[in-house]
Chains A and B, each alone.
Chain A
């Protein structure tokens, strides 16, 4: 992986957490330490959201979200439609600003550095924080191989051995065995699930530290969903994954932590966050309990 993963030293992360994290989250930290097996991922805060607010025009859609994402973990964000989950993860790699009339407030710290600081090169941020979208969106004018390596070309990065990288990314995305004989076919010739794994491979090629997934399985059939979930588990050993999902079973299956978002018609808020097992077995907030037990949403 990138050397930058080592840049977020444990001490510094902890120090930061003690001073700025809401007290509620220290329990999360303890749990994380308890749950994650040693060696399965470097501990430390990879990405921190501090008091995120978001607006579209005059309408506030997100209110005061503070969340830490630990390196080497999978965090699922659940909640009913329209509660701002997607908007939230789009603020994490600065894709939010593409929507006309969008505005935001708050900080997002990547390895302790605010990604919204003026003068930041936004393309570098997006290289470190990759994203997989709801609908598979391979570039139709490119072959499978070109699709995987598209990020290198787009960001003008140089690599020693493209073939190795190509194979590595496809293997990690769980697609290698299916496409290794037809790398020069066009991306559009794959099935929906394969296309989505191709998009995951494409995101991996630029070696992000963090991967955002915006409902990556909602357009796929159950078989493909299962494959993607396997891929997520594989990847979680080496990177931080944040996944937005409508599917509570999926959240329970793949994630280490779960955050529950809710909007009561106003802006979306983070109701509760904690280790996935706790959120689903003994949530602290009654609204979370109602949601995870299927009483609404």
Chain B
């Protein structure tokens, strides 16, 4: 009883019979065209006006056409399904709308201000209202770098230790700490600024400085680093730890020499995401960093500029020149965040493959 006969057969190719056929796609396209034509006609004939009317009528027509078509060919269940699909697609389109609009606005309005002087000078001699080819954001670049660096130095050990406590030690406090870390990630950024003001600036230093800005950012960064690191450490297989312990290593050696190195790229991702989260924080820096216009590399004394403050000041100044300056600043900031973000994705993708 042989089922596979030895005779030569044409090679069978893998297929996906469930994928939509050209005919189905043509029908979908037809429905879209019909709805588009219909919406133009309805908007022209009725008193509905404006982009919103086109979009609304188009959406309703698509739903009606799909409903009728599916009801006739497959029945009520399929017709309802088509309505739900239309809504789901609409949800995605509505989400895409602000993203594209934001990216377009930043690119369109920011590109005119991108002059080389932006990266070589500060605002010592210029006000926000000066033409965009004078003055620059060098002080903001260095200031943001220094403050984020300070935040990183403080939040990195605390965040990673918290993650290690949550994943490796699992003591009495695990649940409360998990809860508190989550609660901390919801602390409003302005509250972090007020806290540094009330705890350090008023009673001790009396003057704002870059260090204070860094401390405020650290408070906002700790929960991000802790939570992302926790997720990363949880991905490290348990047998790796057991192997370390079984070889006679202490827990400290196992974690510091086996677990953490294995999670290295993931931990770097956690750091990058933390940096991206705080790089654009505005409110606390307005409160505690002093917001200088002059290049200042000393975080312990004197006001220190930063990206968000530079943008904030130019934006609230409110003239054409200053607003162009603000858009240029946000363009540069967004590019930096992009770079950080894609670096994190790249490393993160690496981690997922392992």
Query: Interface on A for B, CB 8 Å cutoff?
Result: 22, 24, 27, 51, 53, 55, 60, 63-64, 66, 94, 97, 102-106, 116-119, 121-124, 154-156, 269-274, 284-285
Distance to closest chain A CB from B5 (angstroms): 8
**25 A-B contact pairs sorted by A residue (CB < 8 Å):** A22-B5, A24-B1, A24-B2, A51-B12, A53-B14, A64-B3, A97-B18, A103-B15, A104-B14, A104-B16, A104-B17, A105-B12, A118-B17, A119-B21, A119-B23, A121-B74, A122-B18, A156-B76, A269-B4, A270-B4, A272-B3, A273-B1, A274-B1, A284-B1, A285-B1
Contact status B15-A104, CB under 8 Å: yes
Interface of B (DSSP majority class): loop
- B178-204: CB near A (< 8 Å → 1, else 0) gives 000000000000000000000000000
The distance in angstroms between the C-alpha atoms of A124 and B75, with both chains bound, is: 10
Distance to closest chain B CB from A201 (angstroms): 21
In the complex formed, the residue of A with least CB distance to B21 is A118
Contact status B18-A94, CB under 8 Å: yes
- B67-83: CB near A (< 8 Å → 1, else 0) gives 00000011111101000
B3, B12, B74 pick with most chain A CB within 10 angstroms: B3
CB contact between A155 and one of B9, B16, B77 (< 8 Å): that residue? B77
In the complex formed, the residue of A with least CB distance to B3 is A270
Chain B residues with CB under 8 A of A118:
17, 21, 23-24
Chain A residues with CB under 8 A of B17:
104, 116-118
Distance to closest chain A CB from B3 (angstroms): 5
In the complex formed, the residue of B with least CB distance to A94 is B18
The distance in angstroms between the C-alpha atoms of A51 and B1, with both chains bound, is: 16
Chain B residues with CB under 8 A of A124:
74
Contact status A64-B15, CB under 8 Å: no
The distance in angstroms between the C-alpha atoms of A24 and B21, with both chains bound, is: 36
Contact status B3-A66, CB under 8 Å: yes
The distance in angstroms between the C-alpha atoms of A53 and B15, with both chains bound, is: 9
The distance in angstroms between the C-alpha atoms of A104 and B14, with both chains bound, is: 5
Interface residue count for B (Cβ, 8 Å)? 23
Instruction: Give the 8 A-B residue pairs with the shortest CB-CB distance, closest first.
Output: A103-B14, A116-B17, A156-B77, A55-B14, A118-B21, A97-B18, A284-B1, A105-B12
Distance to closest chain A CB from B60 (angstroms): 23
Distance to closest chain A CB from B154 (angstroms): 43
Contact status A105-B3, CB under 8 Å: no
Contact status A156-B14, CB under 8 Å: no
Contact status A273-B3, CB under 8 Å: yes
Given contacts A24-B3, A269-B4, A271-B3, contact A105 B15 (CB under 8 A): yes
The distance in angstroms between the C-alpha atoms of A269 and B74, with both chains bound, is: 36
Chain B residues with CB under 8 A of A55:
14
Chain B residues with CB under 8 A of A154:
77
Chain B residues with CB under 8 A of A27:
1
Chain A residues with CB under 8 A of B12:
51, 53, 64, 105-106
Contact status B1-A105, CB under 8 Å: no
Chain A residues with CB under 8 A of B3:
22, 24, 64, 66, 269-273
A105, A269, A285 pick with most chain B CB within 10 angstroms: A105
Please give 7 more A-B residue pairs, beta carbons under 8 A apart, in addition to A117-B17, A121-B74, A156-B75: A24-B1, A24-B3, A103-B15, A103-B16, A118-B23, A121-B75, A269-B3
Interface check B13, CB cutoff 8 A: yes
Chain A residues with CB under 8 A of B73:
121
Chain B residues with CB under 8 A of A121:
73-75, 78
The distance in angstroms between the C-alpha atoms of A106 and B15, with both chains bound, is: 9
- Of residues 7 to 41 in B, which have CB atoms within 8 Å of A's CB atoms? 9, 12-18, 21, 23-24
Given contacts A104-B14, A272-B1, A273-B3, contact A123 B21 (CB under 8 A): no
The distance in angstroms between the C-alpha atoms of A213 and B311, with both chains bound, is: 64
Chain B residues with CB under 8 A of A66:
3
Chain B residues with CB under 8 A of A269:
3-4
Chain B residues with CB under 8 A of A103:
14-16
- B226-269: CB near A (< 8 Å → 1, else 0) gives 00000000000000000000000000000000000000000000
Chain A residues with CB under 8 A of B14:
53, 55, 60, 103-105
Distance to closest chain B CB from A96 (angstroms): 9
In the complex formed, the residue of A with least CB distance to B14 is A103
In the complex formed, the residue of A with least CB distance to B15 is A105
The distance in angstroms between the C-alpha atoms of A274 and B13, with both chains bound, is: 29
Chain B residues with CB under 8 A of A102:
16
The distance in angstroms between the C-alpha atoms of A117 and B16, with both chains bound, is: 11
Chain A residues with CB under 8 A of B21:
118-119
In the complex formed, the residue of B with least CB distance to A156 is B77
The distance in angstroms between the C-alpha atoms of A102 and B3, with both chains bound, is: 24
Distance to closest chain B CB from A53 (angstroms): 5
The distance in angstroms between the C-alpha atoms of A154 and B75, with both chains bound, is: 13
In the complex formed, the residue of A with least CB distance to B9 is A64
Chain A residues with CB under 8 A of B4:
63-64, 269-270
Chain B residues with CB under 8 A of A63:
4
Contact status B13-A105, CB under 8 Å: yes
In the complex formed, the residue of A with least CB distance to B74 is A121
Distance to closest chain A CB from B333 (angstroms): 37
The distance in angstroms between the C-alpha atoms of A60 and B13, with both chains bound, is: 10
Contact status A97-B75, CB under 8 Å: no
Chain A residues with CB under 8 A of B76:
156
The distance in angstroms between the C-alpha atoms of A274 and B3, with both chains bound, is: 11
In the complex formed, the residue of B with least CB distance to A155 is B77
- B42-74: CB near A (< 8 Å → 1, else 0) gives 000000000000000000000000000000011
In the complex formed, the residue of A with least CB distance to B5 is A22
In the complex formed, the residue of B with least CB distance to A153 is B77
- Of residues 299 to 350 in B, which have CB atoms within 8 Å of A's CB atoms? none
Distance to closest chain A CB from B75 (angstroms): 7
Distance to closest chain A CB from B308 (angstroms): 41
In the complex formed, the residue of B with least CB distance to A56 is B14
Distance to closest chain A CB from B192 (angstroms): 41
B9, B14, B73 pick with most chain A CB within 10 angstroms: B14
